[in-house]
Each structure stands twice: as structure tokens, then as C-alpha cells.
């Protein structure tokens, strides 16, 4: 049996100072499954197709033409312009099965949320991109709130801030929901948060 390897999250958070919302997932797939050096890098993950569909009416907006990868610089510029932060809930973890599955992810070190929030003075909303991220985030709160169901928002007071937490569905293709329904869920959130 091989020794457990503790991995550090390979990408820093993107924290536009004027951001009003922050997207929080867990951990990227292993290096051989990444199409770019930024969050949600697996070309099979639909996160950036959902953003393309919602904001540009084109699910391939962030895809590099004729290549199986997303354009990290274009994504970062868009998020910065729209005031959307992206930060993992997990800084260090062990992959129990060597894959991207949250089910087999052992959390070693969660994100220092209070510290991150000091860099986002205008942030009012946090939205998680799946169950594990929601679980980790709720565990960081001294209030220990009941985790919201998918497509549900709750009050999430943290470090003296009145925040709201919305749980969006996972954009992994392993999550059994159609692309259209996932897109509709994210669109609902962005409308709720005043981004759309």
C-alpha cells in the first residue's frame, strides 16, 4: 500500500478587490487531467461552458478554438471584470483514490476563510459548487449552520460579516443533472446575487 501523499492546491485564489460574490469549490483533478492552470481545469468539467452559456450565449466562449482546453487568461479577465472571486475551500488534501472525486478527498487543511474575506470587503455572497465544498465551508463556521440543499440559499454570518451562502450543483459530468438544468441553476444564482 502506497503512502498517502498530501497535495497542496496548485492554483492561487482569484480575488478581485471589488468582488461581490465568491465561488468556492474543492480541489482540482490530478495534473494529467488539467487543460489549463486555473480552477475547474478539466476539459470534461462544464463550469466554464456554463459561464459561456449564461454570459455570452455560447457554451464554447472560453474554449480555445480547435484545442481541448479553456483559456485561463480570458476566464480570469472576465471574472475580474464582473467582480466574481474564485477560491477553493481546501488548501491541502489527500486523494484516497488518486482521482478528482470529492467523495475520496481527505481534507488536510481548509482555506483560511476569515483571512480571504478581509481581501474582499464588498463580498456579500458565497456560492459553493457541490456538496463537499458546502460541507467544508459550513464546518468552518462557529455557528455550524445546517448545509443548504442544492439550489438553496442560507444566511451565513462569518467573521462579523452578514453573508449569504448558495449551494449550486456540481459542474462535474459525474453529477447526474443535465447541462441545461445546471446552467439554469447558476443563472438563478447570478440573478439572485445581482450579477445578471
How confident is the model over 67-119, as pLDDT tens digits?
999 999 999 999 999 999 999 999 998 887 766 666 777 889 999 999 999 99
| Model confidence pLDDT, tens digit, residues 143-191 | 889 999 999 999 999 999 999 999 999 999 888 899 999 999 999 999 9
Nearest CA-CA partner of 170 in 22, 11, 10, 25: 25
Q: Which residues pair with 155 in a beta bridge?
A: 164
| Model confidence pLDDT, tens digit, residues 24-70 | 998 888 889 899 999 999 999 999 999 999 999 999 999 999 999 99
**Is residue 188 one of the residues assigned to a domain?**
yes
**Number of separate domains in the chain:** 1
**Is residue 1 one of the residues assigned to a domain?**
no
Does residue 166 contact residue 146 with C-beta atoms inside 8 Å? no
Looking up residue 69, the CATH number of its domain turns out to be 3.40.470.10
Amino acid at each position: 500500500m502506497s503512502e498517502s501523499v498530501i497535495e497542496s492546491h496548485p492554483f492561487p485564489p482569484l480575488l478581485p478587490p471589488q468582488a461581490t460574490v465568491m465561488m468556492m469549490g474543492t480541489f482540482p483533478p490530478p495534473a494529467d487531467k488539467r487543460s489549463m492552470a486555473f480552477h475547474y481545469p478539466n476539459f470534461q468539467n462544464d463550469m466554464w461552458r456554463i459561464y459561456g452559456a449564461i454570459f455570452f450565449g455560447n457554451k464554447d466562449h472560453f474554449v480555445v478554438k480547435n484545442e481541448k482546453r479553456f483559456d485561463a487568461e480570458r476566464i480570469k479577465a472576465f471574472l475580474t471584470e464582473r467582480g466574481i472571486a474564485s477560491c477553493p475551500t481546501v488548501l491541502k488534501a489527500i486523494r484516497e483514490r488518486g482521482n478528482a472525486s470529492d467523495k475520496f478527498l481527505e481534507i488536510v487543511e481548509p482555506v483560511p476563510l476569515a483571512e480571504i474575506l478581509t481581501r474582499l470587503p464588498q463580498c456579500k455572497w458565497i456560492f459553493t459548487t457541490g456538496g463537499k465544498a458546502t460541507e467544508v465551508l459550513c464546518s468552518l463556521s462557529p455557528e455550524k449552520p445546517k448545509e443548504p440543499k442544492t439550489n438553496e440559499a442560507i444566511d451565513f454570518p462569518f467573521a462579523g460579516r452578514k453573508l449569504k451562502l448558495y449551494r449550486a450543483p456540481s459542474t462535474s459530468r459525474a453529477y447526474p443533472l443535465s447541462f441545461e438544468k445546471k446552467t439554469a441553476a447558476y443563472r438563478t444564482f447570478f440573478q439572485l446575487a445581482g450579477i445578471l
